[in-house]
Amino acid sequence: MLLPSPWRADFPAIAALQRQDQTYLDSAATSQKPQALLDALTHYYANGAANVHRAQHLPGAHATQAFENTRHKVTQWLNAGECGQIVFSHGATSALNLLAYGLEHQFNAGDDIVVSALEHHANLLPWQQLAQRKKLNLVILPLDADGVIDLEAAARLITPRTRLLAVSQLSNVLGVWQPLPELLALARTQDALTVVDGAQGVVHGRHDVQALGCDFYVFSSHKLYGPDGLGVLYGRHEALARLQHWQFGGEMVQDADYQHATFRAAPLGFEAGTPPIASVIGLGATLNYLANLDQAAVEAHEAALHGLLVEGLKQRQGIRLLGAPQLALVSFVVEGVHNADLAHLLTEQGIAVRAGHHCAMPLLKSLGLAGAIRVSLALYNDSDDLERFFIALDQALELLQ
Amino acid sequence: MNLPDDAQAALDSFAHCTGWEQRARLLMQWGQRLPELSEADKTEANRVHGCESLMWLAGKQVDGHWQFAASSEARLIRGLVALLLVRVNGLSSEELQRVDVQDWLNQLGLSRQLSPSRSNGLNAVLVRMRELAG
């Protein structure tokens, strides 16, 4: 095989899917999980589940220890060091909503919130709705033809009125790194808060939140080969101090009377209710697994696969790529072929790709498209997966064109 | 229950279908037979949401029998809707509420197309039909 994945066997679901004649190319939606994570979940449930931060008993102490170990591992994974805290939420969407509600008091009517034209709904709608609640202006940074946020336009649109900038690191539709250092610098000049949606970016390469200098960085565990139902919010200490408590109940409370209550600081103060304990422990196991991989080899493999994918699509007649994808995924449309028809026939052939608006309806509309097909890659994919995809694509197009 | 002639024809053609390619070709052929909506009927009120493609559905009762017409931009979805319409056109409101569409698609070998995870809109079309038939 041209490009075998040395990590494929670490993900038992890939073989299971293959036995069902399924080729999984939808990892940007959610990823398959390494055996190390499955083992950690089994171990936790088989050896005594317990709630965290509450009980004196031994199972509680073990669960709390494992839970806090993951917090430590995430801190290391993002190189957050001493400059901030890791808050666990119920997903990236939930973390972004926490920010949009918890920072609401920081805004006055007429202030600007700046997002980009490529945001996933999760990093658009919480800000859009906040803007409506507080009569703020939602400013949209335009993209260039490659799908990169236009920095000249950004320099004009990020102004003294800008109170917050929220942008994706890597688009889930276009597969293009965004110029975060430049954008964050523009926002800092205006003393605006900065939020980075790392849901896709965190899966590819290692990122250093101290070097980035953002106030908040958000990602979801399930896209990073971890369990679902778990989001991660990194916040700089100074930025977290500006966040008001949002959801109430559980161990986020410091002291409660019938009429009044006081709340804990971050991180626990923002983790209302029982957190997804098993998922947090599982994410820790996933990060251990990932930390032991040869990162350079993973990146080289992903880059080579992506190159094959882009090349193969470009060779075929009538295919238009969205933007100039650099890694991880490619979205495309075919002239004269409805993406729903193509998706239908790829599904018939066991190719698991995503069709539609990819939770970025405004972006698709701005490109004049109702939808697109997205093929997305992970470290367990290999060139045989792509070969099966291309054979299926050719067969489908032969029927449809 | 006696099937309408078109429905019987659909059953006959899909009964001998062996692979996905043949099924796809048949679906597209049936799609071409879908009674097309006029442009004037492609209104927001007739839009069926919940589909990957733009779809419209209109229905009226003639002598107590429902007649539906639909439009979809996507050819395979048009085929699926056409196969749905041959089963339900001509039914009374009461029959329409009772008709077992899942069973109908099972018979055609297309049962997976109605699963909740599919966003092809067939479910939404069915819901709209039953709303219309009140």
Sign of CA dihedral A20, A222, A127, A114: negative
Contact by Cβ (8 Å): B106, B78: no
Q: Report the relative pairing of strands B55-62 and A351-352 from DSSP bridges.
A: unpaired
Can you give the pLDDT at residue B118? 61
- The whole-number average pLDDT for the span A335-364 is 92
* Chain B closest-CA separation from residue A236 CA (Å): 39
A340 touches chain B (CB under 8 A): yes
Question: What is d(CA A377, CA A45) in angstroms, rounded to the nearest whole number?
Answer: 31
Cα A214 to its chain centre, rounded Å, is 16
pLDDT in tens, A114-149: 999 999 999 999 999 999 999 999 999 999 999 999
Taking an 8 Å cut-off on Cβ atoms, the answer to whether B119 and A345 are in contact is no
Query: What is the pTM for the complete model shown?
Result: 0.94
Taking an 8 Å cut-off on Cβ atoms, the answer to whether B75 and A338 are in contact is yes
Mean pLDDT of chain A: 96
Question: What is d(CA A269, CA B88) in angstroms, rounded to the nearest whole number?
Answer: 56
Residues 6 or more apart whose CB falls under 8 angstroms from that of A184 comprise A165, A194, A196, A212, A213, A214
Can you give the pLDDT at residue B3? 79
- Angle, in degrees to the nearest 10, between helices B75-88 and A339-348: 80
A372 touches chain B (CB under 8 A): no
pLDDT in tens, A163-212: 999 999 999 999 999 999 999 999 999 999 999 999 999 999 999 999 99
3-state secondary structure of A143: strand
A355 touches chain B (CB under 8 A): yes
* Chain A closest-CA separation from residue B98 CA (Å): 28
Can you give the pLDDT at residue B134? 78
Count of residues for chain B?
A: 134
| Domains (range + CATH), chain A | 8-25+294-400 (3.90.1150.10), 38-291 (3.40.640.10)
Other C-beta atoms within 10 Å of A109: how many?
A: 8
Structure confidence at residue B119 as a pLDDT band (50, 70, 90): low
Number of Cβ pairs < 8 A linking chain A and chain B: 45
Q: Is residue A43 scored above 60 in pLDDT?
A: yes
Other C-beta atoms within 10 Å of A332: how many?
A: 21
| Domains (range + CATH), chain B | 5-132 (3.90.1010.10)
Taking an 8 Å cut-off on Cβ atoms, the answer to whether B76 and A355 are in contact is no
Sign of CA dihedral A105, A108, A110, A112: negative
Higher pLDDT residue, B51 or A99?
Answer: A99
Can you give the pLDDT at residue A401? 86
Question: What is d(CA A235, CA A80) in angstroms, rounded to the nearest whole number?
Answer: 9
B88: left (phi over 0), alpha (psi -120 to 50) or beta: alpha
Can you give the pLDDT at residue B116? 63
Two tokens at A359?
Answer: 């939770």
Contact by Cβ (8 Å): B21, A395: yes
Q: Out of A49-63, A75-89, A150-164, which region has the weakest mean confidence (pLDDT)?
A: A49-63
Residues 6 or more apart whose CB falls under 8 angstroms from that of A396 comprise A342, A345, A346, A349
Residue A130's nearest CA partner among A156, A155, A166, A154 is A166
On chain A, the residues whose CB falls within 8 A of the CB of B20 are 345, 348-349
Longest dimension (CA), chain A: 70
Task: Indicate which residues of B carry an active-site annotation.
Answer: 51
